[in-house]
Structure 1
Amino acid sequence: MNPLPTVILPGYLAGALEYEPLRQTLEGLGFPTRVVPLRVRSWLPTLGGRPITPILKVLHTTLQQTLQEFGTDRVNLVAHSAGGWIARIYLGSVPYGGQVWQGRDRVATLISLGSPHTSRERWTKRNLDFVNNHYPGAFWPQVNYVCVAGKVIQGQRWGLGSLRESYLTWLAYNSYQLTAGKGELWGDGIIPIEAAHLQGATNLTLPDCYHSGRGGRRWYGTPEVVEEWAQYLL
């Protein structure tokens, strides 16, 4: 039995090109994969906490095209960072942006990679409150939820070590606090573990895994890391 096609949803303010190496890695593992064709400018209408309807529309079109291309009725969805909670809106049955998306009928497995499923940051809180009030945890029983978190940096208000290490732990502290309300947590440098996991999901914590691969760092899209979570696409 051939695996279902996979669609990658980029993270906030990220374009599709950034995820081309991840697409190639998944293809090499035998998973036919497409990337939602976003550009950085695609996100501009969503700034300031405005609805992410423009992203949902492109996601929906990409899923429909992928279903038609492969002659299947469902796909797997891999969503990085904010893409994880955006995907949860897409699965839902409550109108958002004037439309009922009901993506749960088209998605078999949702894998979120370093996604902030909670937030105290005022620009994202409204959207995330919508998600968590209407669809808490691994809400839809017909969807297989897999939430992947990285464990590489513990946040510290006053960083220790070299200047670079101090900056990274300070940055993590402030990001974790915005996301989870506590700074001295472990996470991927941007998202703490407890915010990246969902109750009722298959929750994975991967060591030495950063939020993004910028600067050549080991992240969710590094080939050996992909192999650890891609098994859940079967």
Structure 2
Amino acid sequence: MLLVWWTPITGEALSLLALFLIGGTLSLIGHSAGGWLARVYMEEFGVSQISLLLTLGTPHLPPPKGMSGVIDQTRGLLDYVEKNCSKAVYTPQLKYVCIAGRYIQGARLFGNSNVNANAAVPIEDDLQISEVAVVKDMNNSTPNSPTFRARFIGQGYKQVCGQADVWGDGVVPEASAHLEGALNVTLDGVYHSPVGSDDVSRPWYGSPAVVEQWVYHLLS
């Protein structure tokens, strides 16, 4: 199992880093699966030297069971995390900050959803890096007829949360990236991965203008 080798290696690395701390604490940042792997590390090695866990587009919640067409892509790992890891908190001693991207709304595979899959998400940014973060598909679809792209992405969302016609970052649904008890933040127009992204028309969590929207949590 992935966790068998991952947590000892990470624990050794962070233990070495902690040697350089003099009365300080560590902040952990995890993107996608890295967020719940960080939670496993915190559970197994403790949080005495950790003051912040910040996750970016992490699918925290296990997919629903017994739903037709839904296959647990993590093979039970998220069930393990939910059952064995501590609940999220937001206290002066330890802060969980869960950041989701709201890039595109998915659609059901068959039938029409109440979705305008071509709707653009404006980016409110002083740098004006882009007018929109979701580029309209140039085809003959109408607002009541979801595009193939929205249906395809919707099937990915369904594997994660059981619903296709929800908003997300193109991979992880918005609701799945948030945790009860954490400070939950949604950033408009943010795509999940650096693969297929760019800093102008499709920024991801690591794009400079997006980093500016969450990096202050490391300094507070």
Per the TM superposition, whether the score is higher than 0.5 is: yes
2:104 to 146, 153, 170: 153
SS at match of 1:104: coil
> Counterparts in 2 of 1:62-141, with a 5 A limit?
62-92=13-43, 101-120=44-63, 121-135=71-85, 137-138=87-88
Post-superposition shift, 1:211? 0.2
The CA RMSD over aligned residues, in Å, is: 2.3
Separation in structure 2 between the aligned mates of residue 155 and residue 66 of structure 1, nearest angstrom? 41
1:231 to 202, 216, 220: 216
1:177 to 131, 149, 158: 158
Which stretch has the larger CA shift, 131-140 or 115-124? 131-140
Match of 1:197, as an amino acid? H
Separation in structure 1 between the aligned mates of residue 90 and residue 186 of structure 2, nearest angstrom? 22
Deviations 1:29-87, CA, capped at 9 Å, x for gaps: xxxxxxxxxxxxxxxxxxxxx34222212221221222223445521000000111111
Contact kept in structure 1, 2:105 and 2:154, CA below 8 Å: yes
2:173 to 189, 192, 209: 192
Match of 1:155, as an amino acid? G
TM-score (norm: length of structure 2): 0.71
Contact kept in structure 1, 2:204 and 2:210, CA below 8 Å: yes
Percent identity between the two aligned chains: 35
Post-superposition shift, 1:140? 8.4
1:138/1:91 Cα in 2 relative to 1: closer, same or farther (>3 Å)?
A: same
Which residue is 1:46 aligned to? none
SS at match of 1:220: coil
Q: Which structure has more RCO (C-alpha within 8 Å, separation ≥ 6)?
A: 2
Deviations 1:158-181, CA, capped at 9 Å, x for gaps: 577447x94542332111111111
Match of 1:104, as an amino acid? V
Which stretch has the larger CA shift, 198-207 or 55-64? 55-64
Separation in structure 1 between the aligned mates of residue 148 and residue 37 of structure 2, nearest angstrom? 29
Contact kept in structure 2, 1:152 and 1:209, CA below 8 Å: yes
1:140/1:231 Cα in 2 relative to 1: closer, same or farther (>3 Å)?
A: closer
Contact kept in structure 1, 2:90 and 2:181, CA below 8 Å: no
Match of 1:116, as an amino acid? P
Which residue is 2:130 aligned to? none
Contact kept in structure 2, 1:209 and 1:220, CA below 8 Å: yes
Corresponding residue pairs, total: 176
TM-score (norm: length of structure 1): 0.67
Separation in structure 2 between the aligned mates of residue 178 and residue 67 of structure 1, nearest angstrom? 38
Post-superposition shift, 1:218? 0.1
Separation in structure 2 between the aligned mates of residue 104 and residue 131 of structure 1, nearest angstrom? 16
1:189/1:58 Cα in 2 relative to 1: closer, same or farther (>3 Å)?
A: same
SS at match of 1:77: strand
